[in-house]
Structure 1
Amino acid sequence: MSALQNQPLIKVSNIDKLFGAKQALNNVSFEINKGAPVALVGPNGAGKTTLFSILCGYIQQTSGEVSIMGHKPGSAATFGNLAALPQDAQLDPRFSIAQQLKFYGQLQGFDTRKSKYEAQRTLDLVGLKEVLNEKPEALSHGMRKRVTIAQALIGEPKIVMLDEATAGLDPLHAREVRELVANLSGETTFILSSHDLSELERLCEQVLYLENGVLREHQTLTNEADLSYITLRMASVIPDFEQKLKSILQVTQVKKTQDKEYLISIEPGKNDLPIDIQILQLCHDNDWQYKQMINGKTLENQLFS
Structure 2
Amino acid sequence: MNLIETDKLTKRYGSKLALDGVSLELKPGRPVALVGPNGAGKTTLMSLLCGYIRQDSGEMRILGHTPGHAALLGKVSALPQDALLDPNFTVIEQLGFFARLQGFGPKDAQHEALRVLELVDLKDSAKSKPGALSHGMAKRVAIAQSLIGTPKLVLLDEPTAGLDPANARAIRDLIASTSGDTTFMISSHNLEELERLCDTVLYLDKGKLSQSLSLSSLDAKRSVAEAHLTLSLHSEARADLQPRLSSLPGVTHVKAQASGREFILSYAPKPTGHDTYELELALFRLLAQEGISYRQVLNGKSLEDKLFS
In the alignment, structure 1 residue 251 sits paired with structure 2 residue 251: yes
Unaligned stretches of 5+ residues in structure 2: none
1:68 pairs with one of 56, 62, 70: 62
TM-score (norm. length: structure 1) = 0.93
SS in 1 for 2:59: strand
Residue 272 of structure 1, CA deviation: 9.2
Deviation track 1:219-277 (CA, whole Å, cap 9, x = no partner) reads 11219776510011122222143222111231111112341111110123596961111
Query: SS in structure 2 opposite 1:229?
Result: strand
**Other structure's SS at 2:181 match:** coil
Cα distance in 1, alignment partners of residues 63 and 269 from structure 2: 44
Q: Of 282, 303, 308, which aligns to 1:304?
A: 308
1:234 aligns with 2:236: no
Q: Distance in 2 between matches of 1:272 and 1:104?
A: 52
Residue in structure 1 matching 2:131, options 134, 137, 142: 137
Q: Counterpart of 1:98 in 2: which secondary structure?
A: helix
d(CA) in 2 for partners of 1:148 and 1:86? 9
Q: Which moved more, 1:85-94 or 1:176-185?
A: 176-185
The match for 2:119 is: 125
Deviations 1:138-186 (A, max 9, x none): 0000000000001001111111111111122222222121111111111
Counterpart position of 1:43: 37
Deviation of 1:217 after TM superposition, in Å, equals 0.9
Give the deviation of 1:124 after TM superposition: 0.5
Whether 2:113 is the aligned partner of 1:107: answer no
1:56 corresponds to which of 50, 53, 64: 50
Matched residue, 1:3? none
Asked if the contact 1:257–1:301 (Cα under 8 Å) also holds between the matched residues in 2, the reply is: no
2:250 maps to a residue whose letter is Q
How far apart, CA to CA, are the structure 1 residues paired with 2:202 and 2:170? 24
Pairwise CA distance, 1:189: 0.9
Does 2:195 align with 1:201?
A: yes
SS at structure 2 position matched to 1:102: helix
The DSSP-based 3-state class of the residue aligned with 1:236 is: coil
Does the 8 A contact of 2:36 with 2:205 survive in 1?
yes
Alpha-carbon shift at residue 198 of structure 1 (Å): 1.4
Deviations 1:2-39 (A, max 9, x none): xxxxx201101111111111111111111111111111
Measure the CA separation in 1 of the matches of 2:91 and 2:39. Answer: 33
- Residue from 155, 175, 178 that aligns with 2:172: 178
Asked if structure 2 preserves the Cα contact closer than 8 Å seen for 1:16 and 1:24, the reply is yes
Shift of 1:126: 0.4
Q: Deviations over 1:103-150 (max 9, x none)?
A: 111111221111111111110000000111110000000000000001
1:282 aligned to 286, 298, 307, which one?
286
Tell me if the contact between 1:230 and 1:295 (Cα under 8 Å) persists in the aligned partners: yes
Unpaired stretches in structure 1, ≥5 consecutive residues: 1-6
From 138, 147, 151, the counterpart of 1:153 = 147
Alpha-carbon spacing, 1:16–1:257, altered in 2? closer, same or farther (3 Å) = farther
Counterpart secondary structure, 2:180: coil
Give the counterpart of 2:83 among 83, 89, 93: 89
Q: How does 1:256-267 map to 2 (within 5 A)?
A: 256-259=256-259, 260-267=261-268
Identity %: 50
Deviation digits for residues 34-85 of structure 1, max 9, x if unmatched?
1111111111111110000000000111111100110111111111100000
Q: How much has 1:287 moved relative to structure 2?
A: 2.5
Q: 1:35 is paired with a residue of what secondary structure? A: coil
Q: How many residues align?
A: 299
Q: In 2 relative to 1, CA 250–124 (structure 1 residues): closer, same or farther, beyond 3 Å?
A: same
Quote the Cα distance in structure 1 between the aligned partners of 2:257 and 2:3.
36
1:4 counterpart residue number: none
Distance, in Å, in 1 between the alignment partners of 2:262 and 2:21 is 35
Match among 13, 24, 29 for residue 23 of structure 2: 29
Q: Kindly provide the CA deviation profile for residues 176-214 of structure 1, in whole angstroms up to 9, marking residues without a partner as x.
A: 211111111111111111111111111111110111111
Write the letter of the residue equivalent to 2:242: E
For 1:189, the equivalent position in structure 2 comes to: 183
Q: Distance in 2 between matches of 1:109 and 1:45?
A: 36
